[in-house]
Amino acid sequence: MLIRNILTKAVCAALFSLVTTMGASAAGNTQGITPTTIRIGMLGPYSGPDSVFDPLDYGPTAYLRYINATGGVHGRKFDIVFADSACNETQGIAAAKKLIYQDKVFMVMAQPCSGVSLAIKPMLLRSGVPWMGLAADPHIALPTSPGIFAVGYTGNASGHAMAAFAMSKPGVKKVALVEHSNDWAHGYCNAATAYVKSHGGTVVANTTLEPGATDATAQVLRIKASGAQAVMACLYQPALIVFLRAMHQYGMHIPVMGALGADFDQVVHDVGTIDAVKGIFFQPYQFQAPIGQGPLARFHDIFLKYLTKSELPANGVPTNFYYFGVPVAIVTVKAFDLAGPNPTRQSWIAAVESLKHFQTGVFADTETFSVTNHVGVQRMNDVGLNASGKETIYKSWGTPIAGPQ
C-alpha cells in the first residue's frame, strides 16, 4: 500500500509537471508573449483630419502604462507598438500587416475607425490575432468571430439610444436623418431608423453630409421643410459642428442627437455659440458618472500621470474619448489575469468569454461576453446642456440621472 501511494504521488507529480511544462511551452510559442512582456498593437488615426479620434487609443495606453507601473500581469509588462491608420482603409491594412507579421503583436487594440476595422478583419481572422476594439459598426463583432471583441458600444446600441432619447420628448414622431455615406454612419442611423419605425415614428427626411463638408445649408433647409421634430446626426465631429452651426443660423431649435463620432465637450466648445447647443445638442452617454467625477476620477489621474504632454489635450484636461477608450485596456488586462501565468490565444479568448457583468468602473453598463456574444455593452445614458447651460446626464428627456452632477 505504501509503495502504491508513493507511486501514485509520483505519477501525479509527473503529470502536473508535464501539464505545467506544456502550458509554459504553449505560452512561450504564442506570438507576442515572452517571459516578461505582452506585445500590444495600438492601431489608431494618429495623423490626418481624423486624428481627433486618437484619444480613444491614448485612454487604453495610459491604463496599460499604469498596470506596468504596478508590476504588470503575472510578471509580464505590456510592450505597446503604435501604428497609424489615419482612418484610411489602405493605410490601415498596411499598418495592421506590419503589426501582425513584422512586429508580431499578440493582439490589435482600439482602432476606432469602422472602415479600417472591417478592412483588417479578414487578416485578423486568417492570422488568429485577436482584436479588442471600439469601432461602432456592428458588423465587426457580429456575427461572432473568433477573437474579435467589441468592448465599446456599437452603432446598434448607440443608434437605439439616440432615437429612444429623442422620442422620449413628448410629441416627437417625425425624425430626420443627416449622415455620412459610409458604414460607420449607417451603423448608427440604420439602428436609429429601426427604433423610430418600431415605436410609431416616421423618418421624414434623409440627407447626406460628407466628411470634410464646410457648409450644411442644403441639408438644414431640407430638414426644416420636412417638418422634422428631431434629427439623428450620424456625423464625425467636424461635420457635426458645421451642421449645428447651420441649424442655429436657420432658426432650427429641435433636438439634434449626435453619434459617438464626436466628443461632446469639444463639440460644445467648437460650435462657439451656447444657444446653438443648449437644450438642442445631445449624445448617447457611455459613462456611469460625469467626466472625471465619482468612479471616473481615478482614470482622470491615470491619464494625467501616464500620458505625455503631446498625448493629452492642449489644455491638459482629458475629455470624453479618453474615458471611452480605457475599458478596452481594462477588459484586456482582466482577461490576461484570468488566463493565468502561461497565457495563450485560446486561454485569453476563453477568459474574455467568461466575463459576466464585469464592472469597468467607466461604462454605464457592465461587460458581458460569451462564446456566442462578443459585444460587451448595450445600456447607455444621454448627455446634453440643461436650460442653465450645465452639462447634465439624462435617463430620458427632462429626467436627469439620480445623484450629484
What is the CATH number for 200? Answer: 3.40.50.2300
> Whole-model pTM?
0.80
3-state secondary structure 117-168: HHHHHHHHHHHCCCEEECCCCCCCCCCCCCCEEECCCCHHHHHHHHHHHHHC
Q: What confidence tens digit (pLDDT) does each residue in 318-329 have?
A: 988 999 999 999
- pLDDT value, residue 17: 37
Range of the domain at 260: 156-285+381-400
pLDDT at 347 over 70: yes
Q: What confidence tens digit (pLDDT) does each residue in 84-112 have?
A: 999 999 999 999 999 999 999 999 998 88
Domain annotation covers residue 14: no
pLDDT at 18 over 80: no
Confidence of residue 52 (pLDDT cuts 50, 70, 90): confident
90, HSE (Cβ side, Cα atoms, 13 Å): 0
Examine the domain organization and report whether 125 and 221 are in the same domain.
no
- pLDDT value, residue 13: 39
Confidence of residue 138 (pLDDT cuts 50, 70, 90): confident
Confidence of residue 9 (pLDDT cuts 50, 70, 90): very low
Domain annotation covers residue 132: yes
5-19, 43-57, 290-304: which range is least confident on average? 5-19
Strands (E), 226-341: 230-234, 256-258, 281-285
- pLDDT value, residue 404: 62
Domain annotation covers residue 396: yes
Task: Find the mean pLDDT for residues 263-281.
Answer: 95
Total count of domains within the chain: 2
Examine the domain organization and report whether 169 and 126 are in the same domain.
no
Examine the domain organization and report whether 240 and 301 are in the same domain.
no
Kindly provide the b/e burial profile for residues 67-82, where b requires at least 16 CB atoms within 10 angstroms of the residue's own CB. Answer: bbeeebbeebbbbbbb
Domain annotation covers residue 108: yes
Torsion of CA 290, 295, 300, 303, to 10 degrees: -130
- pLDDT value, residue 193: 98
- pLDDT value, residue 28: 59
Confidence of residue 210 (pLDDT cuts 50, 70, 90): very high
Q: What confidence tens digit (pLDDT) does each residue in 114-133 have?
A: 899 999 999 999 999 999 99
Domain annotation covers residue 174: yes
Examine the domain organization and report whether 109 and 167 are in the same domain.
no
Give 9 or 391, the one with higher predicted confidence.
391
Confidence of residue 1 (pLDDT cuts 50, 70, 90): very low
What's the burial of 128, exposed, middle or buried (CB within 10 Å: 0-12/13-18/19+)?
middle
109-113, 179-183, 366-370: which range is least confident on average? 109-113
Examine the domain organization and report whether 325 and 192 are in the same domain.
no
What is the rounded average pLDDT for all residues in the chain? 91
Q: What percent of the chain has pLDDT over 90?
A: 81
- pLDDT value, residue 16: 34
Examine the domain organization and report whether 143 and 160 are in the same domain.
no
Domain annotation covers residue 131: yes
pLDDT at 281 over 60: yes
Examine the domain organization and report whether 265 and 390 are in the same domain.
yes
Q: Give the whole-angstrom CA distance, residue 355 versus residue 375.
A: 11
- pLDDT value, residue 217: 98
- pLDDT value, residue 183: 84
pLDDT at 11 over 50: no
Nearest 5°: the CA angle 360, 324, 268 is 140
CB 277 within 8 A of CB 387: no
